Homo-oligomer: A and B are copies of this chain.
Amino acid sequence: ICCAGTMSPNNSPKLMDLLDDTVPGIGTYEDFNTIDWVREKSKDRDRHREITNKSKQSTVALLFSISDAFSGWLLMLLIGLMSGALAGGIDIAAHWMTDLKEGVCLNGLWFNHEHCCWASNETTFQERDKCPQWKSWAELMVGVSEGPGLYVVNYFMYMCWALLFAFLAVILVRAFAPYACGSGIPEIKTVLSGFIIRGYLGKWTLIIKTITLVLAVSSGLSLGKEGPLVHVACCCANILCHFFTKYRRNEAKRREVLSAASAVGVSVAFGAPIGGVLFSLEEVSYYFPLKTLWRSFFAALVAAFTLRSINPFGNSRLVLFYVEFHTPWHLLELIPFVLLGIFGGLWGAFFIRANIAWCRLRKNTCLGHYPVLEVVVVTLLTAFLAFPIEYTRMSSSELISELFNDCGLLDSSKLCGYTSNSGSASGSVNATAANGLGARLAGPDLYTAMWQLALALLFIPSMAVGAIAGRLLGVCMEQLAIRHHERDIFRGWCSPGADCITPGLYAMVGAAACLGGVTRMTVSLVVIMFELTGGLEYIVPLMAAAMTSKWVADALGRESIYEAHIRLNGYPFLEAKEEFRHKTLATDVMRPRRGDPLLSVLTESGMTVEEVERLIADTTYSGFPVVISQQSPRLVGFVLRRDLVISLENARRNQEGVVSMSPILFTECDPPMSPSAPPAVKLRSILDLSPFTVTVHTPMEIVVDIFRKLGLRQCLVIQNGRLLGIITKKDILKHMAQMANRDPDSILFN
């Protein structure tokens, strides 16, 4: 009666039911392997179903089911609070340590420069960064308060501190958490796509990353904060997941939480919760159901408000570089904005190439053996070049903040060194001031600032480059407009008492263009910038620059910096954005290739324990298809190597009478056997009865689509009902590399 045709759902053994109950280890993954999204999601649905069914039986179970439903929200709240608090701490510590390179506050060591002088009463608003309580190292140590000695001692101390911070950072990373190095976004993208890197999001990585981020920022090394903050937020999320069974035991659910955490990271890095969610959606996430969108948004908001209540910048804002512009822009200004976009695109493409070339050099030559030396040399060089120029001496977020800033009347920054602000009432100024426009003519201070910025442009990377380039262009445009305000082309731009154009807006557009060129973000970039300015007014310039920048950069190379690093490291990442455009079929990609030995398969009955063990020992495949018989290779199911190994070991250890000659059965019911034969090992419970199949004629573009959308690890290839081969994610990635004329062996992992 058993095995007779169709089956009802109630008496057939279910794969998923048994996974958790049987042998420990079954249903888990090895390090540096890809998870099976379909299996993980099924596991979660089974879990949910069980809880729902039980909840109808007792009140306790009902309460448990409700708490289970809300545990996701609680987790998001905790992630938001923890990441927000950490980001606030990092900002405060980095600010304090950056200032420590220059001097100390006598009122209290824990004050940074700005707070020190706020507390002082002897300072005026105009010179708010000068106060007697703040002592530079030279004043403190040598007692000099002026002259070249002061400068030299300060210079020396600055370099010493920078060196100390950088040295500490690199030592900490090497000693405790090698995963804490780098931006982290390429790895997080790979992890989110289903890869397993144990320890990458662990507590040690979190602690060391947090400390070294502060140290690295303070040492003056130029790096973006968004990557490390995303990594920190993901570490928080991963650690907090351990307290919730639902997320601890399911790799797919955990990745949903990590997607939300990457939104949180960007939210605290830029103070842009909506932008963060879009960044996660557009740039980082692989599987992003709509439920996650809403939760990510919640977590991002909580984090943003936690950060704001910590108020690390003392301005009630989420970021140092919040701005408010008031002057409208003119249609003609789109030309410089598009120019900035072109610059950003070129710079992005150049930066990616240079960065990848450097990493490759480090990988392939002996340079890679001396990372401490490398960091020390780079730090020394940076510090040596940075100190003399005011704009490189400050931290890069302070610099960006200054560049974005619109000059008010009381601004003491050199960038606002217009003739009216510089205080010298020369004759020419009065002449132009008569028509009310002279106030915005460039003074000598502004010219100095421009030269210094142009110098700084040479060796400061990332967003700041764009901001500097933008500000330079902005000031040029402004002076042009003022000096030629009577020309037709500029008519109506300048009205007395108001600014002609906003150089700060140019800085912002430039920053967006460069960031766009490097990361190829689109909507999220514009939304982040929109959240910084808070007005729809300036979206069009930002959009124009971001679009141009992406087009230019894409024309020079399709990959963003993250994708380039993923490829460099050989991670098994199936990019969702780029379509597979080649006209190959499944038969061209599947293994075995023509001429290769036949596909290694198991039969549903008739194999012994010894034969299977030999097959496992002889091959390295991560799974085996199960067919009816070698003669009739019709597919029954698929079994994973890891599950098979664990089950066989378990059978040998725990099942009585199992010997090498014991038959292995994947069938639903036992075939007739002689009573003297050794007992069979029944393995149907580890058999996946619904493996994905395609035909040999299926175009690869569809196969790639299936792999991406369903998150498969492997797929079997069938022709007219007969099993012919197998395609794994690695095969697809190798095939894609080959089609793009790259080395297929650069794909390292399964």
Contact = CB atoms under 8 A, between A and B. Distances in A.
A351 B659 CA distance: 69
A585 B690 CA distance: 10
A330 to B, nearest CB: 14
B583 A38 contact: no
B698 A690 contact: yes
Q: How many copies does the complex hold?
A: 2
A640 interface: no
Contacts of A540: 301, 305
A297 interface: yes
Contacts of A305: 540
B695 A585 contact: no
A702 to B, nearest CB: 6
B9 A49 contact: no
B693 A693 contact: yes
Nearest to A73: B547
Interface residues of A, number: 77
A618 interface: no
A262 to B, nearest CB: 16
A282 B292 CA distance: 11
A522 interface: yes
A722 interface: yes
Contacts of A282: 290, 293
A701 B9 contact: no
Interface in A425-479: none
A161 interface: no
Nearest to A318: B536
B293 A523 contact: yes
A628 interface: yes
A304 interface: yes
A739 B12 CA distance: 20
A437 to B, nearest CB: 25
A581 B52 contact: yes
A637 B697 CA distance: 10
Nearest to A690: B698
Contact of A699 (B581, B690, B693): B690
A298 B543 contact: yes
Interface stretch (A358-366, A507-515, A526-534): A526-534
A161 B704 CA distance: 60
Contact of A721 (B547, B576, B706, B721): B721
B697 A689 contact: yes
25 contacts: A6-B587, A6-B696, A7-B697, A9-B587, A9-B588, A12-B585, A14-B583, A42-B702, A45-B579, A49-B581, A52-B581, A274-B530, A282-B290, A294-B523, A297-B522, A297-B543, A304-B536, A628-B721, A635-B720, A690-B695, A690-B699, A693-B718, A706-B710, A721-B721, A721-B723
Interface of A: 6-7, 9, 12, 14, 16, 38, 41-42, 45, 48-49, 52, 273-274, 277, 282, 290-291, 293-294, 297-298, 301, 304-305, 318, 522-523, 526-527, 530-531, 534-536, 539-540, 543, 547, 576-577, 579, 581, 583-588, 594, 628, 634-637, 689-691, 693-699, 701-702, 705-706, 709-710, 718, 720-723
Which 8 A-B residue pairings sit nearest by Cβ, starting from the closest? A634-B721, A721-B721, A690-B698, A689-B697, A709-B709, A294-B522, A690-B695, A634-B720
